[in-house]
Structure 1
């Protein structure tokens, strides 16, 4: 059996076993189709059933999360944690609180996390978790009660040497703080390394807030530099207006780019003079408002209902930083027609498989999520290191380490793509580079 036959066989098995889980199946397909040449080179991986094992989580946990709202009404949400692969270290991956969360989404995120974490070069395995709870519009008291109920079950399954969650969509410093406080109460111990994204006063790391957005820009700049270009003077469109989008905007602007658009789930803003980041930070980080409020600060800007329309804006560089599946085939074609030369993913799998084909078929430089947005988890692992050593590094120290990691991720991905005859295909290269490290560890540890 050659590599492609093996990959197709496993894909069929995964599809039959996980029917209806579109997000997970898309993630598996995107990775596995890149790996056929690896199995031609390493037939021993086929004999060891490596793919059959890597596509199946080591453990899946689903639980009830009851809580009481401010009016005394009992609410019930679902909690999830998928511990996907621990071959190279403890499970590591964020918690997402959003109404769309289900088993398929958590599995797709956890599967991606295996290879993303591997690419960082740090000893962390892949996992993900969350709940269909929506923190938007909830009081601090309601969020706290939910987080405490969520942690009342999750604490049994995590530990600084076992599974280390962090934040994701809907889970920021407030939520991490509430969860860590309750974890500490339940365990009767200070274990700061069990959660990352903590506040600076209780074990958090400088640069963690900025890490995913900064890392995205460091990766993008390195990819462009390798292709005789740079962000300086470029027009950039960034979707989203949360943590990743805000700090990607900040770093891109520092490097000489002009960011002209941001969005949220309701719509997008366009400011031809360049986004006023102070206004966005006040709206999103202080007031927890909607992006349309930007017009109160910059009346000359435009606001358009519907978030997908952001991809009709002409730009040199597109950075999707909102959520999965936000760029479909039609949006990708519009970007290409409008002359976009670079797309790098700040969110998790924001481009559909069809959109990716459009980009690659039209010579667009494409930075896949597992490589381009690995800065957040890289900095989380650096936070774990600081917790283990009981010390804190300066902002500059962490930022320099982050930049080195992102440059190295691009280098690994480009090298792997060239080695397997697909020079310039960073998607394929990142999949192979991330997979190889995990594969070697799994082979060494036997059938477990």
Structure 2
């Protein structure tokens, strides 16, 4: 397998995040290939690491002053062996082809873990929505969709939101798609508003799902979330609803963050205030410490220096380093579940595993979002809508199934409690088996 991975590095120069994601999967596959050497046939490993299609396009748009800007748009349709491509759109200055390929690669296995009939893809743009007016964001989204629409369809590719893309942006893109195609194809985008084809629980799904996965991990050691001190990085959609579900289950979240620093509130995070600051007023998290006397804001240092029982990295990739992990272990952390995509560096994962800390990788722990997107697609296809309670029950069942399949597979391959190994093997096996059934395509 070494020469295969070396060829992947050679063919994808400079794409560090994609290399990191592929290396993690390859490190898990040695045991699978030893048990089932047929996976080395028909260039299966090479094909699974090569996207089926990579789309890069120009996105011109005009700001409120009449000045024209040009951004770059991406859609990487990674693998459709299990169903139509499915994965979010990210609007952030850091977006480039390597980032989107890494996200699409992870998405392929994450989607397979859900057991739903969806393939893997990812997209986005290096556009930064921060500081832009509503009209500017609308014009950008319309320009973006004017090119992307030709590559989408409810049976082809179904994007959703991601960093920088929420209900507002999805609404503008859906409107432009509908305008161009003259079709009300509700299933072409997920994460839509509930009043026009969206699903209840979709907003909460990633955060709720990560918390359910954490609950299942802790149960293997006869523990629960109740009474635990929890640190959640980020303060966007995933972080906010992770905090909400942790509070429901009796945990106490004491720290959150954004790109300007982090807050610590030993009295427990006031989630209503966080929601008002981030979702309504769209201000920095430092505002929380101004309005809450029990809180302190830190513009320097790491949120992972705050002692806790549970850590939920929910901001962005590679935010939690090996040094951060060492601090967390010294401070007594017992479990970590990734709400973001690959937020822990390889060194951090190693520290957690060597320290016997329960560690839920993103492709398993944060799969609740895409799972509920697939449930939204089901509702769109049947022209139906489900209650909040029924949809959340489906989400909880899916997360329990993901945990069980990862745990059982890790144990089968002689690595109990290694959820990274279990998730990679389950996801790979499901995709690879479908690809092999379809022939060399």
Answer yes or no: is 1:438 the counterpart of 2:438. no
Q: 1:355 aligns with which of 348, 361, 364?
A: 348
Using the alignment, how far apart are the partners of 1:253 and 1:300 within structure 2?
Answer: 18
Using the alignment, how far apart are the partners of 1:110 and 1:227 within structure 2?
Answer: 33
Using the alignment, how far apart are the partners of 1:9 and 1:394 within structure 2?
Answer: 51
Answer yes or no: is 1:336 the counterpart of 2:324. no
| Equivalence map 1:39-50=2 (5 Å) | 39-50=33-44
Q: 1:54 aligns with which of 48, 69, 73?
A: 48
Using the alignment, how far apart are the partners of 1:423 and 1:358 within structure 2?
Answer: 17
Report the number of matched residues. Answer: 441
| Equivalence map 1:81-92=2 (5 Å) | 81-92=75-86
Using the alignment, how far apart are the partners of 2:108 and 2:99 within structure 1?
Answer: 15
Answer yes or no: is 1:120 the counterpart of 2:114. yes
Task: Give 1:167's aligned residue.
Answer: 161
Q: TM (normalized to structure 2)?
A: 0.99
Using the alignment, how far apart are the partners of 1:273 and 1:13 within structure 2?
Answer: 52
- Tell me which stretches of 4 or more aligned residues in structure 1 moved more than 6 Å: none
| Equivalence map 1:19-168=2 (5 Å) | 19-168=13-162
Using the alignment, how far apart are the partners of 1:375 and 1:300 within structure 2?
Answer: 33
Task: Give 1:3's aligned residue.
Answer: none
Answer yes or no: is 1:211 the counterpart of 2:241. no
Give the secondary-structure state (helix, strand or coil) at the position aligned to 1:33: helix
- How far the C-alpha of 1:300 sits from its partner, in A, is 2.4
Task: Give 1:318's aligned residue.
Answer: 311
Task: Give 2:299's aligned residue.
Answer: 305
Query: What CA RMSD, in Å, does the superposition of the two structures yield over aligned residues?
Result: 0.7
Give the secondary-structure state (helix, strand or coil) at the position aligned to 1:398: helix
Give the secondary-structure state (helix, strand or coil) at the position aligned to 1:89: coil
Task: Give 1:263's aligned residue.
Answer: 257
Task: Give 2:187's aligned residue.
Answer: 193
Q: Is the 8 A contact 2:101 2:122 kept in 1?
A: yes
- How far the C-alpha of 1:59 sits from its partner, in A, is 0.2
Gaps of 5+ in 1: 1-5
- Mean Cα displacement is larger for which, 187-196 or 329-338? 329-338
Answer yes or no: is 1:279 the counterpart of 2:273. yes
Using the alignment, how far apart are the partners of 1:408 and 1:9 within structure 2?
Answer: 35
- Mean Cα displacement is larger for which, 40-49 or 152-161? 40-49
Query: Which deviations, in whole Å up to 9, do the C-alpha atoms of 1:52-79 show, x marking residues without a partner?
Result: 0000000000000000001111011000
- How far the C-alpha of 1:44 sits from its partner, in A, is 1.5
Using the alignment, how far apart are the partners of 1:253 and 1:351 within structure 2?
Answer: 24
Answer yes or no: is 1:245 the counterpart of 2:256. no
Answer yes or no: is 1:377 the counterpart of 2:353. no
Gaps of 5+ in 2: none
- How far the C-alpha of 1:297 sits from its partner, in A, is 2.5
Q: Is the 8 A contact 2:266 2:294 kept in 1?
A: no
Q: 1:233 aligns with which of 212, 219, 227?
A: 227
Give the secondary-structure state (helix, strand or coil) at the position aligned to 1:119: helix
Task: Give 1:425's aligned residue.
Answer: 418
Query: Which deviations, in whole Å up to 9, do the C-alpha atoms of 1:286-330 show, x marking residues without a partner?
Result: 111110010233122100004x61000000000000000000111
Q: TM (normalized to structure 1)?
A: 0.98
Using the alignment, how far apart are the partners of 1:101 and 1:322 within structure 2?
Answer: 15
Give the secondary-structure state (helix, strand or coil) at the position aligned to 2:50: coil
